[in-house]
Amino acid sequence: MFFAEPQPTQYDLNFMIGDVPVRVHPMFWLMTVLLGASNPQPILVGLWVVAVFISILVHEFGHVLAFRYFGMRSHVVLQAMGGLAIPDTMSANYGRQRNWISDIAIAFAGPAAGFAFAALICVVLKVSGGDVMLVKIDRSDLIPMLMPVGLPTEYSYLFVFRLLEINIFWGLLNLLPVFPLDGGQIAAAVLRKANPHDGLRQALMLSVGTAIGMAVLALVKMESTYMAMFFGFMAYNSYQILQSLGGGRSGWR
């Protein structure tokens, strides 16, 4: 879940998946293309954009299903910084079934959907005669990655690899206790339950520290300027929210 819902534009792509409205802001396409611009061929950029689009939809529909489980309808918006699953405030049960447990379940459902999608891809590969291997491609990689094996073309290999990479690696990053990532929402729910008067401040301090640590790690270990800037912005964003609390003490709502 990322920030506030952007204002509609005439260039939005709107469609339905089942009874769930989906809106794609034009900045989503721009940012995704820029992230994939290092690929040497336009077709690889296109495959990257499709992989990101599918993966973020899967992630957000994990949140949608969790909202639905707790009796709330929602809609999805894809924007520059990722995606949003936004509960409908007119739902009959909006707010009635929200508590720290439901907040954790709703936040975790996004990454969980991505992990389940990655597992499904692995099963399909094995059933169709392919396979997956756990490989550490580069010394700068934080964790080994699943590599598809036995696909008929280089393009199909790269597409499936991107799907696995996004749904596993991005899902793990999303569980870090950093606002406004899902892990930050989970940490806030736990800390506010344990300490209603000071839990939000503690969660924001944890967010600042974790984000700074990840920014340094991204520069030193992963050699990724983009990821360092991303987590640097997350640290600054959390610090600004912390400062707005006026010394930092606040409850859940």
* Residue showing tokens 């009635």: 96
What pLDDT sits at residue 110? Answer: 96
What residue numbers bound the domain in which 216 lies?
177-236
Q: What total number of domains does the chain contain?
A: 1
* pLDDT, tens digit, 9 for 90 and up, residues 88-136: 876 555 556 678 899 999 999 999 999 999 999 999 998 988 888 887 7
139-148 long-range CB contacts below 8 Å, 24 or more apart?
Answer: 140/221, 140/222, 140/223, 140/224, 141/222, 142/217, 142/221, 142/222, 143/169, 143/172, 145/169, 146/118, 146/122
Question: What percent of the chain is helix, strand and coil (3-state, nearest 5)?
Answer: 55, 15, 30
What is the rounded distance in angstroms from the CA atom of residue 140 to the CA atom of residue 143?
9
What pLDDT sits at residue 48? Answer: 95
Q: Which two tokens stand for residue 248?
A: 């930092």
The whole-model pTM stands at 0.88
Do 23 and 78 meet the contact criterion of CB atoms below 8 Å apart? yes
Measure Cα distances from 63 to 31, 131, 138, 142, 147 in Å: 22, 30, 33, 27, 27
With respect to residue 28, please indicate whether it lies within any of the assigned structural domains. no
With respect to residue 185, please indicate whether it lies within any of the assigned structural domains. yes
With respect to residue 208, please indicate whether it lies within any of the assigned structural domains. yes
With respect to residue 214, please indicate whether it lies within any of the assigned structural domains. yes
Could you say which DSSP state residue 98 is in? -
With respect to residue 210, please indicate whether it lies within any of the assigned structural domains. yes
With respect to residue 192, please indicate whether it lies within any of the assigned structural domains. yes
* pLDDT, tens digit, 9 for 90 and up, residues 173-226: 999 999 989 999 999 999 999 998 889 999 999 999 999 999 999 888 877 888
Beta bridge partners of 65: none
* pLDDT, tens digit, 9 for 90 and up, residues 17-60: 999 999 999 999 999 999 888 777 889 999 999 999 999 999 99
With respect to residue 217, please indicate whether it lies within any of the assigned structural domains. yes
What is the rounded distance in angstroms from the CA atom of residue 244 to the CA atom of residue 246?
5
CA torsion angle for 212, 217, 219, 225 (degrees, to 10)?
-70
With respect to residue 193, please indicate whether it lies within any of the assigned structural domains. yes
